[in-house]
Amino acid sequence: MANIDYRTKTIRDGLTAEELFQGDGLTYNDVIILPGFIDFGASDVHVSGQFTKKIRLHIPIVASPMDTVTESEMARTMALMGGIGVLHNNCTVQSQVQMVRSVKLFRNGFIMKPKSVSPDTPISVIQDINSEKGISGILVTEDGRHDGKLLGIVCSKDIDFVKDVSLPVSQFMTRRENMTVERHPIRLEEAMDVLNRSRHGYLPVLNDKGEVMCLCSRRDAVRARVFPNSSLDRNGHLLCAAATSTREEDKARVKALAGAGVDVLVLDSSQGNTTYQISFIKWVKKTFPHLEVVAGNVVTQDQAKNLIDAGADAIRIGMGSGSICITQEVLACGRPQATAVYKVSRYAASRGVPCMADGGLRNVGDICKCLALGANTAMLGSMLAGTSETPGRYFFKDGLRLKTYRGMGSLEAMSQGKESGKRYLSEKESVQVAQGVSGTVLDKGSVTRLLAYIHKGLQQSAQDIGEISFDAVRKKMYEGQVLFNRRSPIAQMEGEVHSLHSYEKKLFTSKL
C-alpha cells in the first residue's frame, strides 16, 4: 500500500453559500462563517451599506417602523449615528408628518424649538420646567412662543435663591442687550467659536426682526462633535424614512409626508407581493420621482421580482421571523430568515437593487451573518426596544426597569390604529387574527451606546472573515471564496456559554 502524506492532502474546509442553501430552510443560528486571513486592523474596516439605490448609510442599521420603537427621537438619533429610522404609521397623518418635520428641521447642535416663556411667567413655573425637563436655560420672548421676539434668558443659577416664587421672570432674566446673539443662518462651527469666546452657555440665533430662529447651547455643541458620520441629505438635514400602507386612501398620507420632506417611503406590509403594493409603487415613482421606495416584505425571488419590476429602490426581506411575530405559527406561511436573505438578495443584486434583512436578528453575530449572506442593511426592532430613545415610559416590575415592546400584528397595536391592520391586510375584517404579541424588554440605556457597540462588532467580524468591508465579503461570498459550515444543535450549544456554574454576560463597555 502506497504511503500517503496527509500533510499535502487538501480537503475544502466548508461550503459555499450556494451549496449551503440547497437543502432545508436555515436561519442564522444554523450557520457559521469560516475565518479568513487578516492583514489589517479592525478599525480599518468599512461597514457602510447601501440602503436604497441612491442612499448609503455609514452604519447599515435601520430602526423598524414599530410604534414601540421608532418615533422622532429614535429617528433623529439613528440618523446622527449614521443609520436611519423609519417612522411608524400607526397614527394619524398629522402625527406622522409632525414627526418627519421634527427630524428634518433638527440641526445637530442646535435647538430648533427652544423652551420659551413670556416675561410675566412666575418663577415657580420656571422651577417646575427646570426640575421636570432638565432645562437649565429658558428663553423669554414677547409672547412666550419659541419663535417670538427675544427679550432675555433665565438660567437656573439666576433663580436658585429666589424666595418669592410668584415674582415674574422679567425681574431675574438676563436682558437681550446683555446677551451674546448671532444672526441666522450660522454654521455649528461658527456658533461653537462664539460660545467659546463669550464664555456663555447659550447662543440665541435671531432673524432680522429679532425673532428666535434657534438656540445653540454649549452642552449640545460639544455633544455634536460625537456625530461626524451623520446620515444627511444634500441640504445637510438628517435623512428620514417613514412607513405607509398601500391602500388608495394612503396616497393622501404620502402627499403629506412628501410635503414634510421625507426622503424614503417604506411600504409596510407583512406580504408585499400584492396588486396593492405593485400599483402603489408605480404611483409613487410617477408622482414623486425623487422619493426612494423600499418595498416588501418578501421572502422569495418571485415576490422580489414583481416589486423590482414595479420600480422598487430597495427590498425588505422577512416574514414571520421577528421575536414578537407569530405569522409562521398562525398562518403557516413564511420562510427561515437566513435562507430568505440569501435567495432574495442574490436575485436582487443581479438587478442592482439593495436588500434589507428584517427580523430574527438577536445579536451582532446575526447582523454579521445577514450582511455576509447578501443583505446590504439590517432592520432592528427587538434589539433597539428598551433603549431610552424608544417611545413610552419605563416601569418597574419585580425590581426590573422595563419598557413595552409589541409586534405591529398584535391585537394591542391593531386596536390602537387601523394602519397596523392594513399591514396584515385585515383592517376591515370583523375578526382579526393576531400575527404578533405584546411583551416587555429590559432597559438598554441609550441607543448611541448600542450602535457604537454594533459598529465595532461589525468591524471585528469582517476582520475575522478577512475582508476590509462587507461589500468585499458579499463579493467573495458570491464568488464562492467565503465559506460556511452548517451547525448541528450540539454545535450551536458549543458556540454559546457553557460548562459554568454561574456567569455574568456583559456585551460591551463604552465611554459614550
What are the binding residues for IMP?
A: 323, 358-360, 381-382, 405-409, 435
Task: List active site positions.
Answer: 325, 423
| Contacts by residues 169-176 (CB-CB < 8 Å, ≥ 24 positions apart) | 169/117, 169/119, 169/120, 169/121, 169/122, 169/123, 169/126, 169/138, 169/140, 170/119, 170/120, 170/140, 172/123, 173/119, 173/140, 175/151, 176/150, 176/151, 176/152, 176/210
User: Residues annotated in the binding site, as ranges?
Assistant: 268-270, 318-320, 322-323, 325, 358-360, 381-382, 405-409, 435
| Binding-site residues from annotation for NAD(+) | 268-270, 318-320
In this structure, is the dihedral angle defined by the CA atoms of residues 294, 299, 301 and 302, taken in order, positive or negative? negative
Classify residue 302 as left (phi > 0), alpha (psi -120 to 50) or beta. Answer: alpha
CA geometry: angle 359, 364, 365, nearest 5 deg? 90
Q: What is the DSSP annotation of 169-181?
A: GGGTSEEGGGS--
List of long-range contacts for 229-234, beta carbons under 8 Å, 24+ apart? 229/58, 229/59, 229/81, 229/82, 230/58, 230/79, 230/80, 230/81, 230/82, 230/108, 231/55, 231/57, 231/58, 231/78, 231/79, 231/82, 231/83, 231/84, 232/79, 233/263
Of 12, 28, 13, 47, the C-alpha closest to 342 is: 28
Numbers of helices and strands, H then E, in the chain: 17, 23
Q: Name residue, grid cell 420659551.
A: 116
CA distances from residue 370 to 31, 196, 484 in whole angstroms, order as listed: 10, 46, 13
